[in-house]
Amino acid sequence: MQTRILIVTVGALLAASCGEEPPSGPPFRTETSVSMLMANILDPAADLLWDAVGTVIDENGETTWEPETEEEWLQVRLGAMALAESANLLMMDGRARDQDQWIRLAEDMADAAMQAFEAAEARDVQRVFDLGEVVYNSCNNCHTLYWVDDEDRGRVVESGS
């Protein structure tokens, strides 16, 4: 009798776990392609960061610019935070091209962008400039592997590391 009850219980547990629906969460919408996110969120957001601080040397001498007003700093923070959060958009099912390298590259971008955000909060002009380059490299690192005509190229590197 004891055994019988045990078997029934185990059977019930198995049935319950097999018949379970995959875990359901909020109804995320991922119809917007990676390419559309790049062109309409990441690229304009990065420009807010990259254009914020700069120097041009021409026949008029050296011209430098940096954010001065709160509104100008807000643009930098907006760009940096939009980039940091965009990493999550890139990691969503249907957009992530794989579950390791792609994820790491997106996280690298988020880390760089978040540091740029903090630099903007601190109004640290030099650091915003320097982190602009770190962000730029994080874009490039992913593009080298995944923004290629041959869609499978990224997958070759995927398993090794």
Q: Applying CB under 6 A, which residues contact ligand HEC?
A: 34-35, 38-39, 42-43, 46, 83, 90, 102, 105-106, 109, 135, 138-139, 142-143, 146-147
Smallest distance from ligand HEC to CB 112, Å: 8
Show the tokens assigned to 94: 């249907």
What's the Rg (C-alpha) of the chain?
Answer: 23
For residue 77, the minimal CB distance to ligand HEC (Å) is 15
Q: Considering the complex, state which of residue 68 and residue 143 has its C-beta at the smaller distance from ligand HEC.
A: 143
User: Which residue number, 21 or 150, has a Cβ lying nearer to ligand HEC?
Assistant: 150
Q: How far is CA 66 from CA 7, 135, 142, 145, in A?
A: 72, 18, 28, 33
Burial label, 1 (beta-carbon count in 10 A; 0-12, 13-18, 19+): exposed
Name the minimum Å distance from CB 85 to ligand HEC: 12
